[in-house]
Amino acid sequence: MKRTNLKLFIYIGLIIYFSGMIGWYQYYNLLNKPLPMLTAINLCVQLFTQPFIPSILLMVNDAFPDPPVLLVTARFAAVIFMFFTILALIFSVSKEWWTVIRVYFTFRNHLILMGLNSKTKRLLEDVLMNTPKQQIVLLVPESANTEAYPRENARYAILAAPIVTPSLLNRAGISKASKVFLLEEDEVLNLERLKAIEGLASRIKRPTPLKIAVLLHHYATLMAFKELKGNDTTGNTDIHAFQWDQRFAAYIADTFFSSALSPESFETEEIVLLVIGNSRLFEPLALEWIQMYRLPSNVPIKIIQVLDNSIPVPDFLRELGDQVEWTQYENAAFFSAPPFELLNRINLCVVLNDDERVLYQECQKARRVFYQTRRTLENPTIVLPVQEHRPYWTKLPRIKENLKTLMVRAVFEEEVISSKELLEGADRIDALAKSIHGFYTQLPQKQIGEEWEKLNDAFKDENRIAARHIAYKLSYLGLEMAKEEDQRESVTLDTLSKAEKEQLSQLEHNRWIARKRVCGYVADAEKPGREIRDTLKIHPDIREWATLSEADKAKDAGFLEYEEILRRIGLKIVRKERYEDN
């Protein structure tokens, strides 16, 4: 029975109970008899048991021919109440068992979603709308309110229980499910449930491994988990971790990199990023910037953060002090006396705040101080990431128009993260990443010969990031990727000068170092075996480009072969339109 329905029954029952209590006192007053409290309680209970157990109520009319109206009303109301309560219980139990039977006999290769939050709802609605044949089972706590969620239908079922047990998982048809999503906000709970599912999967027979997607909220936990990729040894599970915030941060970094890596950035050898406010998106976004926004000279990027109150240096930034310089300003001081010299150097501004009510005001203040400095609304680009499309935005649609006037780029998480990618465990850049992996397996100095499907998530991510960074490198030369049917003429990398090739190789080496540092690696003078190196997270090539051997430099020059890799997936390299106009 749903929690709201249960509350309604309790309230009605209490009203009848206390009405009966008053009625009994009125009745005993008519008889001129005292009514002890325990007797009154017993009589009120009998109001509800009279349909099943003979009681003193049968003698009411004989004892006194005209009982109080309130008592008579409570008596009949209690009978009706018990009748409907029993019907509701029977319906609730039968509905649950009907759902179990329906799942057992008709659901095949379905999804199991565990967790009740905005992300679950979004994924559920997206799948129901865009994947017509996909069946879904949603597991929720017994007391959960699912009224805001889609109603059950022929391909969507809800099962409720106080806790997740093997019995509940079996009722959800886990032996026939294709994938399980663990989507709780508490990542410890997700990991506990993962362990329980792994144990159950090891005892059941399945034609294919059960795919499990685990939502993790901390970047360090995500990276560590991707390296391990679960610990089930039966071959019955295929486990992958993902982070909504990291995917959103990667999208923002890739979409607006041309603003941060402008020609002026390459000329001044400086990247300065401004963050106004703070939210859970700051860490993954800063880490994406650190490992993607690099220059040929390995200078740290600069992140300026404007906060309401001063905070200690975040741990992840302290550990990456060789890759990033972080400075904080107090919000009131920054906007009352703007540091105009610093504002002139900023390449990109991002506004973050968990309180959506102040987002527009923060964007307004940011654009004002930039306009006072540059007398234009066009630069720098101001980005407003919106992670929860709450009623505030839908009730005030004019805010979006005002943001356009201020030339603020609002990016909604729900519009850029695809449920299809989550269902397939894929990434938007995977086609290119697979081609890069195939190229690197052919290099004599590489020791990774596994097929893409057999790689763990950590190795896949390395190729994904290398694939994403192609656009960055091409931008450095005024180039970009385009489809084969694009009318612009193809550009070959063979025409690059020796100096340009070396600069791009340095750029790739700096990106690789930043990625290794984000993953927790440190420099080491020796060259241990791969297993020791990856276990201890040490690498001898985390050093300046000039000190590398020619063989190691050749690894960083591998991007010169990307032209062929792009051609295999229907892409080519062209000159950016604004460079052609010039």
CA-based nearest residue to 556, from 492, 522, 510: 510
Give the pair of three-digit tokens for residue 379. 């630069």
Alpha helices in 107-159 (DSSP H): 118-130
- Identify the H or E element spanning 521: none
pLDDT tens-digit readout, 36-47: 888 888 888 888
Percent above pLDDT 90 for the chain: 34
**How confident is the model over 455-460, as a mean pLDDT?**
83
| Degrees, nearest 5: CA angle 29-35-36 | 160
Is a pLDDT exceeding 70 seen at residue 54? no
- DSSP string of 161-204? ESS--HHHHHHTTTTT-SEEEE--S-HHHHHHHHHHHHHHHTTS
Give the pair of three-digit tokens for residue 38. 């325990």
Predicted confidence at residue 302, as pLDDT, reads 95
- Identify the H or E element spanning 206: none
**How confident is the model over 230-253, as a mean pLDDT?**
80
Spatial separation of the C-alpha atoms in residues 433 and 465, rounded to whole Å: 8
Is a pLDDT exceeding 80 seen at residue 209? yes
Spatial separation of the C-alpha atoms in residues 536 and 519, rounded to whole Å: 12
Is a pLDDT exceeding 80 seen at residue 242? yes
Percent above pLDDT 70 for the chain: 90
Do residues 109 and 177 make contact, with C-beta atoms less than 8 angstroms apart? Answer: yes
The segment with the largest mean pLDDT, out of 138-152, 225-239, 533-547, is 533-547
* Number of alpha helices (DSSP H) and beta strands (DSSP E) in the chain: 27, 16
Spatial separation of the C-alpha atoms in residues 280 and 288, rounded to whole Å: 14
Write the CA distances from 232 to 80, 107, 173, integer angstroms.
55, 25, 20
pTM over 0.85: no
Q: How confident is the model at residue 63 (pLDDT cuts 50, 70, 90)?
A: low
**How confident is the model over 51-71, as a mean pLDDT?**
66
SS3 at position 513: helix
Spatial separation of the C-alpha atoms in residues 443 and 559, rounded to whole Å: 12
Predicted confidence at residue 301, as pLDDT, reads 93
Predicted confidence at residue 580, as pLDDT, reads 43
The chain-wide mean pLDDT, for the chain, equals 85
The gap between the terminal CA atoms of the chain, to the nearest Å, is: 70
Do residues 436 and 565 make contact, with C-beta atoms less than 8 angstroms apart? Answer: yes
**Which residue type occupies 287?**
L
Do residues 183 and 215 make contact, with C-beta atoms less than 8 angstroms apart? Answer: yes
Interacting residues of 367 by C-beta distance below 8 A, sequence separation 6+:
377, 382, 406, 407, 408
pLDDT tens-digit readout, 381-435: 999 998 875 556 656 667 778 888 899 998 988 888 877 777 777 777 888 888 8
Is a pLDDT exceeding 70 seen at residue 255? yes
| Degrees, nearest 5: CA angle 395-399-402 | 160
Spatial separation of the C-alpha atoms in residues 515 and 510, rounded to whole Å: 9
Interacting residues of 9 by C-beta distance below 8 A, sequence separation 6+:
1, 81, 85, 88
Neighbour tally for 391: CB within 10 Å: 8
Do residues 473 and 511 make contact, with C-beta atoms less than 8 angstroms apart? Answer: no
- Report cis status (omega within 30 of 0) of the bond before 380: yes
**How confident is the model over 47-76, as a mean pLDDT?**
72
Predicted confidence at residue 364, as pLDDT, reads 92
Write the CA distances from 530 to 258, 448, 533, integer angstroms.
36, 10, 5
Predicted confidence at residue 212, as pLDDT, reads 92
Predicted confidence at residue 3, as pLDDT, reads 54
Do residues 179 and 213 make contact, with C-beta atoms less than 8 angstroms apart? Answer: yes
Spatial separation of the C-alpha atoms in residues 27 and 33, rounded to whole Å: 9
**How confident is the model over 233-247, as a mean pLDDT?**
81
pLDDT tens-digit readout, 317-358: 999 999 999 999 999 999 999 998 899 999 999 999 877 778
The segment with the largest mean pLDDT, out of 155-164, 283-292, 392-401, 552-561, is 283-292
Spatial separation of the C-alpha atoms in residues 221 and 241, rounded to whole Å: 9
Neighbour tally for 181: CB within 10 Å: 25
**How confident is the model over 498-521, as a mean pLDDT?**
91
Predicted confidence at residue 230, as pLDDT, reads 47
Predicted confidence at residue 581, as pLDDT, reads 41
Predicted confidence at residue 445, as pLDDT, reads 55
Spatial separation of the C-alpha atoms in residues 421 and 182, rounded to whole Å: 16
**How confident is the model over 437-453, as a mean pLDDT?**
68
CA-based nearest residue to 320, from 522, 536, 464: 522
Interacting residues of 263 by C-beta distance below 8 A, sequence separation 6+:
none
- DSSP string of 466-509? HHHHHHHHHHHTTEEEEETT-SSPB--GGGS-HHHHHHHHHHHH
- Phi-psi map region of 118: left, alpha, beta (phi>0 left; psi -120 to 50 alpha): alpha
Estimate the crossing angle of helix 282-292 against helix 219-228, to 10 degrees.
Answer: 60
Cα 493 to its chain centre, rounded Å, is 38
Spatial separation of the C-alpha atoms in residues 150 and 124, rounded to whole Å: 8
Interacting residues of 539 by C-beta distance below 8 A, sequence separation 6+:
516, 521, 522, 523, 524, 533
Spatial separation of the C-alpha atoms in residues 425 and 111, rounded to whole Å: 13
The segment with the largest mean pLDDT, out of 11-20, 225-234, 447-456, is 11-20
Predicted confidence at residue 173, as pLDDT, reads 93
Is a pLDDT exceeding 80 seen at residue 59? no
Q: How confident is the model at residue 58 (pLDDT cuts 50, 70, 90)?
A: very low
pLDDT tens-digit readout, 79-136: 899 888 888 888 777 777 888 899 999 999 999 999 988 889 888 988 998 888 899 9
The segment with the largest mean pLDDT, out of 146-150, 230-234, 272-276, is 272-276
